[in-house]
Amino acid sequence: MFGKKDPIKMIRNGDLAGLKKTLAKNPDFLRKAYPWEESSGSYTANILSAAAFYDQPDIIRFLAAEKGMNINERNKGGWTPLHYACESNASSETLKTLLALGADAELKNNSGQCPDERSTSHMLRDLLQQQKQQPAVEEAKINAEGKWTALSDDEIMFERTLPGGRYRLTKLFNFASATCLSITETLQSGQTTQEEKKFEDLADREILKKACAQLTEIRGIAVEITAVEKPAAQPVQLKHNYDKLRDLGK
């Protein structure tokens, strides 16, 4: 199909120099999907996914960092480069390279599978499971930091982007209803998850005390951790418009 300019063959052989020359003359190759076959099956995806499949971290860095290819771009089946790396049980270096460049370990393909579900390697599956759990682990470490924004006399928002810039954590404390809405946003994909708890069910009491102190300081009105006896203010919900809510903190 491509003869000597076959990008899949170059990637399979780790020929970064040859690939650079070919892309310089054929930049449209960056935007196309290519078929290839291995004993594990037949595949069709862009050259970044092929580089992930064939365990070529240097080529991945070149295509994503220098050529600007989307590290989470999906093919027609919803597979990302990380899915392909797991499909071929690529090395941990390749997975770490993809993750460092912003690959999302929680994106599912059209069959509802996360990348780790395509791997038979316990090491790779464990690595990606740790990546999925990272927001919860990091959250406990950074609750003392972050930006506080009073939304009303009863509500205050805490916002923090985790180290590495992959996730944004937001907590909305409503002292009228004595509830806390926690939002985790994956910045690369824009996907969000949320969980609401009553104050009495929060494991971290220090962040709750901090919220109380910050709201009192910002608004100049004393607030209590327990719900007060008055009509509850309408709690801010993610479904109302999370983007506009975040703009209040800017």
Q: Which of 136, 155, 183 is the last residue of a domain?
A: 136
Tally the residues of the chain: 250
Residue 166 has pLDDT above 90, yes or no: no
**113-141 mean pLDDT:** 77
Q: Which of 99, 117, 136 is the last residue of a domain?
A: 136
In terms of domains, do 20 and 125 share one? yes
pLDDT of amino acid 184: 87
pLDDT of amino acid 129: 82
User: pLDDT tens digits for 6-47?
Assistant: 899 999 999 999 999 999 999 999 999 999 999 888 999 999
pLDDT band at 226 (very low <50, low <70, confident <90, very high): low
Percentage of residues in the chain with pLDDT exceeding 90? 48
Per the structure, the count of domains in the chain is 2
In terms of domains, do 100 and 195 share one? no
Give 246 or 166, the one with higher predicted confidence. 166
What are the φ/ψ torsions at residue 171 (nearest 5 degrees)? -125, 130
pLDDT of amino acid 236: 44
Which of 90, 97, 83, 9 is CA-nearest to residue 55?
90
In terms of domains, do 119 and 217 share one? no
- H or E segment and range at residue 59: helix 57-61
Q: Which of 115, 136, 157 is the last residue of a domain?
A: 136
What are the φ/ψ torsions at residue 157 (nearest 5 degrees)? -115, 135
Residue 138 has pLDDT above 70, yes or no: no
Work out whether strand 147-150 and strand 155-161 pair parallel, antiparallel, or are unpaired: antiparallel
Residue 217 has pLDDT above 70, yes or no: yes
In terms of domains, do 93 and 178 share one? no
**141-152 mean pLDDT:** 73
**83-100 mean pLDDT:** 93
In terms of domains, do 128 and 147 share one? no
In terms of domains, do 164 and 237 share one? yes
pLDDT of amino acid 246: 53
Residue 88 has pLDDT above 50, yes or no: yes
